[in-house]
Amino acid sequence: MPDARQLRRAVRGLIPQPLRQRLYDWSPSRRRRWRRAPGLEAVPGEAVAVTFDDGPDPEGTPPVLEALAASGAVATFFVLGRHVRERPELARRIEAEGHEIALHGMEHRRHDTLSAAEAERELTSGVEAIEAATGRRPAWYRPPFGASSPTLAAVCGQLGLRLAYWSAWGQDWEESPPQRIAALVERDLAPGAIVLLHDSARYAQRERATATAGAIAPIAAAARARGLDLVSLSAAAGDGG
C-alpha cells in the first residue's frame, strides 16, 4: 500500500508542470488563511527581500551562502529549531556572513492546526534554539507551508514575532533546474517583493537542494538590471538589521 505522501506525489506527477505551477500560484486556501492572519506580503520601498526556508542544512545552506556572497546579496533564513540544534555552527555562520536568522518553527509540520498552548510551545522552543545558538532573538516567523491561523498570529504577537509571507517564489521544492527557479522568481521581481526560496531539500519533493544556489546569480543579475537591491527582510522593512 502506498502511503498518503506517495499517493499525493503520484497524482501530482500526472498534472503537467505548467498547470501545477498555476495551481501553486492560485491556492485559494492560502489566500484565505493569509486574509484571516495578516502578515507581511511585501516590503515598503525599492529593495527586494530574499528569504530561504527549511535550513540550516549541511548540504543546502553552504552553497547558498557562497552564491549570496558572490552576488553581493543579503538574505533572511527562516530556520527550524530542530536543525539549529543539530547544526548551531551553521546558524552562526549565516549570521557571521551578514544575513538574518528568522523562525520557521521548531518542527516542520502544520502549525495552523495547533491549539494556542501548543503553538506557544512550538514557537517558544524554536526561538530558544535560535537564541542558544546565536545569542539573538528572531524578529520574524513564517509558518511551514505558509499555513497560518488567527491563533498563530495571536501567539506571534505575545512572543514579539512578526508574521512574514512572500510575494514571489521559485517553486524550488520541485525537481527543477536553476534557470526555471530564477525565471519563476523574475516574474514577480518588483520593488518590495519578498522572494521565497529553500536552502534544504528535506521537506521538498526534490532529492537535492543544489539547484537553488545556482538560481541566485541570475536572480541577482535580474534584480540589478531593474535597479533593485537584494537585502534581508529587516533591512527591506526598514528595521535596520
Nearest to 228 by CA among 57, 100, 85, 49: 49
Smaller CB distance to Zn ion: residue 47 or 75? 75
Residues 99/74, Cβ–Cβ less than 8 Å: yes
Q: Which residue is nearest to Zn ion (CB)?
A: 53
Q: Toward Zn ion, which CB reaches closer, 47 or 105?
A: 105
* Residue of the chain from 56, 105, 144, 170 that contacts Zn ion (CB under 5 A): 144
CA dist 154 and 149 (Å) reads 9
* Catalytic member of 53, 54, 112, 229: 53
* Candidates 66-74, 118-126, 139-147, 227-235; binding stretch for Zn ion (CB under 5 A): 139-147
99 assigned to active site: no
Distances (CA, A) of 42 to 78, 172, 189, 193: 16, 20, 11, 5
In the complex, the smallest distance separating the C-beta of residue 88 from Zn ion, rounded to whole angstroms, is: 20
Distance CA 236, CA 241 (A): 9
Instruction: Report the nearest approach of Zn ion to the CB of residue 197 (Å).
Output: 11
162 or 223, CB closer to Zn ion? 162
Nearer to Zn ion, 71 or 169 (CB): 169
Cell readout for 16 is: 503537467
CA 106 to chain centre: 14
Secondary structure class of 82 (helix, strand, coil): helix
Please report how close the Cβ of residue 113 comes to Zn ion at its closest, in angstroms: 16
Cell 498570529 locates to 153
Give first-to-last CA distance, the chain, whole Å: 50
Of 39-78, binders to Zn ion (CB under 5 A) are 53-54
Is 53 among the residues known to form the active site? yes
User: Least distance from C-beta 90 to Zn ion, angstroms?
Assistant: 17
Interaction between residue 146 and Zn ion (CB under 5 A): no
Residues contributing to the site for Zn ion (CB under 5 A):
53-54, 144
- List, by residue number, the catalytic residues: 53, 198
